[in-house]
Chain A
Amino acid sequence: MRVFMLGWEFPPFISGGLGTACFGLTRGLDQLGTEVTFVLPRAVDESLSSHVELVTPGSESSARPGTSFVMPASFAHIRFRTVEATLRPYVSPGVDDDEDDGDATGKAAKRKGDAKLKPRQPVRVISAGGQSGPGGHYEGDLFAEVQRYAGLACDVAAEEDFDLVHAHDWMTYLAGVAVADQTGKPLVVHVHSTEFDRSGVHVNQRVYDIERAGMHRADRVIAVSHLTRSIVLQHYGVDPRKVEVVYNAIDDNGRDEGRALPPIAHDEKIVLFLGRITMQKGPEYFLAAAKRVLEVMENVRFIMAGSGDMIRRMIQLAHEMGIGHKVLFTGFLRGDDVRRVYRMADLYVMPSVSEPFGIAPLEALANDVPVLISKQSGVSEILRHALKVDFWDVDEMANKIVAVLRHPPLQATLRDHGSIEVRGLSWVDSARNCLRVYEAALAERRD
């Protein structure tokens, strides 16, 4: 089985769950011996003259001069190819953009690339209630970039030999369709999130159209949860027979390292929000619950780690609620800082309004932090040892937060069972499920 895979993010060029998922999935496929050519857009360093670069895994020497992209050595069957693109679809520009600075070296490089290529033209996608817009910006002339990526992907595809095309999220769907049309190979599109998750009811029609066209053209659609599958069926009218659910998993890399570290001593109980501070993630529900918690408990601090277009409003909101001194905004955390904040946290809360999957709670559990997650998340379909709450039910969220902070046996039971549960998840299983979908798509072509 040879797969031509179209991705958007990949560590270290990553702004969220999509890159993590692509990394895990390709690793799983690699371990199952599946050959994958992974096509990835990346910012072009000014010293780089070629638009396309080829990196052979495990041998840095084959990388072109000037690249900072070092391949993980553990990939045996994966070839990475990158094409120039400048897109950051899920990261918002505007007032809070500075918060993102230095989140990863790649992103900084990307921004430099942006500036060189063209002036930034933020495309305003949604506008909730006429305000400055939660999560509503796509950067650059995204649609032209998506088209250009499709063309470049076709160029790469012409040089490659493969059985099937697998495209991750809408930015790559046009490329997926183009490559499938060009080669006649079956197309699998993988829905990590939909426009409805990202933008609520204020859907960008052009993004929706691309998503819909990709899903309809595809031989098979992979949804990351039943929650997402039902959106695909209801809002995109896709034939239910071709939509399969493949859950994400978590990479066991670094987990032992996390375990070896002792907890960081601190006097206060700490409740952690870690993620993009955007409409989709429900940060205002976290603050509302915090206020309720503080009505019955004193010695608690709430940490909001992350950046996003709602961060200023959240700082303002915390202040207006009179709990500003109890809420700490850290900005975007990376690497060791993430591990450190997990070691301090008594509870991780993910109050997402709409979360197609949600890998972050799995990471929290892997770091021995119990989790409270919204029922409006895909991950709640597979986690049994987690507290669950409707994102809007702020009182119940507070009720559960208080319980974890007050009753150490609850925290311990959640943590112990949760960490066992999360150890049972594996990207190899997810990859195996993907392979099953590939086989089904190919078998249908043979019939």
Chain B
Amino acid sequence: MASVCFYFQVHQPFRLRRYSVFDRSSEYFDHERNREICRKVAEKCYLPTNTIIEELIKRHAGRFRVAYSLSGLVIEQFQLYAPQVLRSFQRLAATGAVEFLAETYHHSLSFLYSREEFAAQIELHQQLIRDLFGQTPRVFRNTELIYSNDIARAAHALGFNVVMCEGADQLLGYRSPTYLYTPPGGSKVKLLLKNYRLSDDIAFRFGNRQWSEWPLTADKFARWVNNVSGSGHVVNLFMDYETFGEHQWEETGIFEFLRHLPEHVLSLPANDFKTPSECAAAYGTSGTYDVPHMISWADSDRDLSAWLGNAMQSNALHQLYQLEAAVKSSGDPDLLNDWRKLQGSDHFYYMCTKHLADGEVHQYFNPYDSPYDSFINYMNVLDHLRSRLPAH
């Protein structure tokens, strides 16, 4: 018996426009570029993939099930630039075979800097999902799968009993991400761990002709899933939704793979598809997953270094959250909105100076030539935002 648990992350940041120290405008975001990228990805990925998922759910009469996490920021962009994408997600929600997860509305690193803001953003996000899709998220995933024991505790305090995280080798040891775990200390939280090998086979390696397993067919992948039977309960395939059609182009055959995967997985009667909530309801836990330090699903380091790896990044974040009290007490909704959009983790990702191998991944829709340019631009915006605060 193996349950395949698909979770797709859907997110686009509000990229900043070029903002020089000589700028005086309160318009910080590059709407033209954000619209262009949002529409491009909608055409290449969101719309065609949603269509396939909807077909699959219908064809398999609800036996094919998936989960999504849509950041509040990407939903705002759909509302502004591509409302048809939002409508197609609403159709998916109506099938009853799709679960929507909770996250911080602004795709932020707020957990690290302000628990109050962290809780506020989750609340905002839950409300948005409830309004749009008619369901209240019960499973929490933090930005970029950033996770630690503390995050499990904080999520539990906010009412979540299931949390998603990375299944990191150095923490699992000989154990497998195909079981459910619990944080240490008698926590009631159930953890679903990303099966990074099988997830990355699809997300990163699918179109790589140098890969020994290329070409990856739905039939072959289903056999790998079957191997889990008897040695685990779940195959957690967590990935960016942009994998389909954007990271892996249509020419790689990624859509055909997706179209045929369910029938191959379901050809073994013991297999099924479950959403994260269903996995947690169906299976017990197999010991503790102790994560004292922050992990994430980013880069090869699987830690925070993509957002907090250098002095510029920590300085920018520190200065941003220093403004929290003043922004909130100003009573200015535009100011609060801008400040929150500046919390998007992507802004700090662009400032990353790590080695070239990971640096290449950081190029994806990166509007800057260098991490230094990104920092300079961001700090100019932040300086201007600070100038809008009411004088004390």
Contacts and interface: CB of A to CB of B under 8 A. Distances in A.
Interface of A: 292, 295-296, 384-385, 387-388, 395-396, 398-400, 402-403, 406-407, 409-410, 412-414, 417
Contact of A417 (B20, B21, B353): B353
Interface string B361-384: 000000001101101100110000
Contact of B379 (A295, A395, A403, A417): A403
Interface in B177-204: none
Contacts of B310: 409, 413
Q: Would you call the interface of chain B mostly helix, strand, loop, or mixed?
A: helix
A403 B370 contact: no
A403 B376 contact: yes
B314 interface: yes
B311 A413 contact: yes
Given A385-B353, A387-B372, A388-B369, A409 B21 contact: no
Nearest to A370: B372
B75 interface: no
Contacts of B22: 292, 295-296, 395, 398-399
Pairs A-B, 9 closest by C-beta atoms? A409-B311, A409-B315, A403-B376, A399-B20, A402-B21, A399-B21, A409-B312, A413-B312, A413-B310
B353 A413 contact: yes
Nearest to A404: B376
Contact of B311 (A403, A406, A412): A412
Nearest to B311: A409
Contacts, number: 54
B376 A410 contact: yes
Contacts of A388: 369-370
A294 to B, nearest CB: 12
Interface of B: 20-22, 310-312, 314-315, 353, 369-370, 372-373, 375-376, 379-380
6 contacts: A384-B370, A387-B373, A399-B20, A403-B379, A406-B379, A407-B376
Contacts of A292: 22
Contacts of A409: 310-312, 314-315
B230 to A, nearest CB: 50
Given A387-B372, A400-B376, A403-B376, A410 B21 contact: no
Contact of A395 (B20, B315, B373): B20
Contacts of A403: 21, 375-376, 379-380
Contacts of A296: 21-22
Given A399-B380, A403-B21, 4 more contacts: A407-B312, A409-B310, A410-B312, A410-B376
A28 to B, nearest CB: 25
A55 to B, nearest CB: 44
Given A399-B380, A403-B379, A403-B380, A410 B372 contact: yes
A399 B379 CA distance: 11
Nearest to A407: B379
A396 B19 CA distance: 10
A399 B310 CA distance: 21
Contacts of B353: 385, 413, 417
B312 A399 contact: no
Nearest to A296: B21
A387 B373 CA distance: 7
B358 to A, nearest CB: 14
Contacts of B373: 387
Contacts of A406: 379
B20 A396 contact: yes
A407 B375 contact: yes
A410 B375 contact: yes
Contacts of B370: 384, 387-388
A380 to B, nearest CB: 11
A292 B21 CA distance: 10
A396 B369 CA distance: 14
A389 to B, nearest CB: 10
B310 to A, nearest CB: 5
Contacts of B21: 296, 398-399, 402-403
A385 B311 CA distance: 14
Contacts of B372: 385, 387, 410, 413-414
Contacts of A387: 370, 372-373
Contacts of B376: 399-400, 403, 407, 410
Contacts of A295: 22
A400 B376 CA distance: 7
A375 to B, nearest CB: 9
B349 to A, nearest CB: 15
Contacts of A407: 312, 315, 375-376, 379
Nearest to B20: A399
Contacts of A400: 376
A348 to B, nearest CB: 15
A63 B353 CA distance: 51
B372 to A, nearest CB: 6
Which of A292, A396, A403 has the most B CB atoms < 10 Å from its CB? A403
